[in-house]
Amino acid sequence: MPPNEFPADTVAPELPPVEESSRARPAEPAADGPPVLGRFARSALLITVFLCAACGLVYELSLVTLGSYLIGDTATQASITLSVMVCAMGVGALAAKPLRQRAAAAFVVVELALALVGGLSVLGLYAAYAWLDLYTAALVAASCVIGALVGAEIPLLMEMLQRIRKQEAGSAVADLFAADYVGALLGGLAFPFLLLPVFGQIRGSLIVGVVNAVAGLVLVLIWFRADLSRPVKAALGAVTLLVAAILVGSYVYADRFEATAQQALFAYPIVWQRQTEYQKIVLTESVSPFGTPDTRLFLNGDLQFSSVDEYRYHEAMVHPTLAGPRREVLVIGGGDGLALREILEYPDVESVTLVELDPAVIELARTDPRLTELNRHSFADPRVRVVTADAFSWLRTAGADYDAVIVDLPDPDQTSIAKLYSTEFYAMTAQVLAPGGTMVVQAGSPFFAPHSYWCIAATVRTSGLNILPYHVDVPSFGDWGFVQATRDPAPRLALDPPAPLRSMDELSLPAATIFAPDRRDTGEQPSTLMHPTILELARKEWV
């Protein structure tokens, strides 16, 4: 009987219907899952996504943090970096679409480029700031390139994921983005708790660059090597060696580069420096035109004092404040101990509480012979109690009343400092001021930054205290101003020092309260936490 034929009286057996969709569908894998190679390759790819996402976020955080250290404007630096980078990611994703046919090779090229640009980004931006004065332009350029390369990763990785095992689009996107977002968590935690404190910004970025390059290269050469021709493999290997040599060489010479770049920012030789979690501390030393040593302290690039004339600043700030009751004194800031030196000259001062955020500043003032000579070992006095805390948070729970409060803080040109020049801060400070007590706030220069100065004065006035603005000449700074505040209806400057002062006396006090016509009250609005007016004014006048 010919095949597929049946006798006339025989009914052909009925075959089960075949669905149209099953005819074009490839063979399904066995019930126990995909082949072992496919399963491992897919896991390796998702791990690579995880690592690349961590590296990408570290690059973003590095740029934001560097900007906050150098420029001091965290909000603006974060806005520029993140907005430019996210936009560039979209552009990079579109640009990568034509590369999907060669996804493996393109992915390695993208990772090597990202490792090089991202790893060197901090070093390059620091150089642009120190020597070229092109920091903002360099930041935008770096954010564009890094963002475009990060954006190009996703379509290439999606193509590679689908080659390992076909998935519905929604399922593949969910897997890819899950690994991406969880990896971002790793990068976000590793940056402040591991990379920054252990390796620093420059070396931390270089290490992440190496991880970025290795992750992409290993994935492709192990699991997608069949997609690469021999010449392509050789070319990628040569480029990898070049990128590795650049990153490793940069790592080795990072300290030398940083020291050279930092010295370019200061007119005098650096004798001590340290990057803490709060700020960059730099101590310089030179010889003044008068032949005496000139020691200068800088915090985040801002001059805090010069040993040649710091006594003018500290005498003007401390002694008019201590002309009244002074048994209990509070100092907010002043971690160099120079205000303490003036306070401790009064034998009737029973205790001084000093609140300083950065313990490294206290340690420097306690141990560096240049500073201990200047502050006369003031921290060794048993009357001094040091509190290492954020002053804003500390004041919320401080219950004591102080006869004198001295607020000696850095200038408010940084987001982290602006809250300490707000109506909320001064209201809490006024609450710890005892009846009959006096408060003083260093308020910048009424000559060089009049709007900032009078904004601070207006903000102190909102605390309910009556204010008395005054200013003195400090050659290292120029004309420098303070704001005294008391509950007295008519505050006035007075002196009651235990010994004659070098820079002022009773006869010079009336002149300190007189301002030139073009430097009088400019009518500024008070600064608050939600509307930090002082921050914008300080940036315009000081930065």
Q: What share of the chain is helix, strand, coil (3-state, %, to 5)?
A: 55, 15, 30
- 127 annotated as belonging to a binding site for a ligand: no
CB 261 within 8 A of CB 130: yes
- Identify any residues that bridge with 382 across adjacent strands, giving them in sequence order: none
- 336 annotated as belonging to a binding site for a ligand: yes
CB 441 within 8 A of CB 407: yes
Q: Please tell me the distance from the alpha carbon of residue 462 to that of residue 228, in angstroms, as a whole number.
A: 70
CB 353 within 8 A of CB 330: yes
Q: Please tell me the distance from the alpha carbon of residue 465 to that of residue 452, in angstroms, as a whole number.
A: 19
CB 87 within 8 A of CB 147: yes
- 356 annotated as belonging to a binding site for a ligand: yes
Q: Please tell me the distance from the alpha carbon of residue 266 to that of residue 5, in angstroms, as a whole number.
A: 100
CB 66 within 8 A of CB 126: yes
- 162 annotated as belonging to a binding site for a ligand: no
Q: Please tell me the distance from the alpha carbon of residue 132 to that of residue 261, in angstroms, as a whole number.
A: 11
Buried b (16+ CB within 10 A) or exposed e, 154-164: bbbbbbbbebb
Q: Please tell me the distance from the alpha carbon of residue 519 to that of residue 405, in angstroms, as a whole number.
A: 26
Question: Does residue 413 sit in helix, strand or coil?
Answer: coil
Closest CA to 317 of 484, 458, 477: 484
Question: Does residue 33 sit in helix, strand or coil?
Answer: coil
Q: What are phi and psi of 302, to 5 degrees?
A: -95, 130
- 484 annotated as belonging to a binding site for a ligand: no
- 314 annotated as belonging to a binding site for a ligand: yes
Q: Please tell me the distance from the alpha carbon of residue 218 to that of residue 233, in angstroms, as a whole number.
A: 12
Query: Which DSSP symbol is given to 382?
Result: T
Any idea which residues carry the catalytic annotation? 408
Burial class (CB in 10 A: 0-12, 13-18, 19+), 516: exposed
CB 408 within 8 A of CB 335: no
Binding site residue list for S-methyl-5'-thioadenosine:
279, 356, 390-391
Binding residues: 279, 314, 336, 356, 390-391
Q: Which residues are annotated as a binding site for spermidine?
A: 314, 336
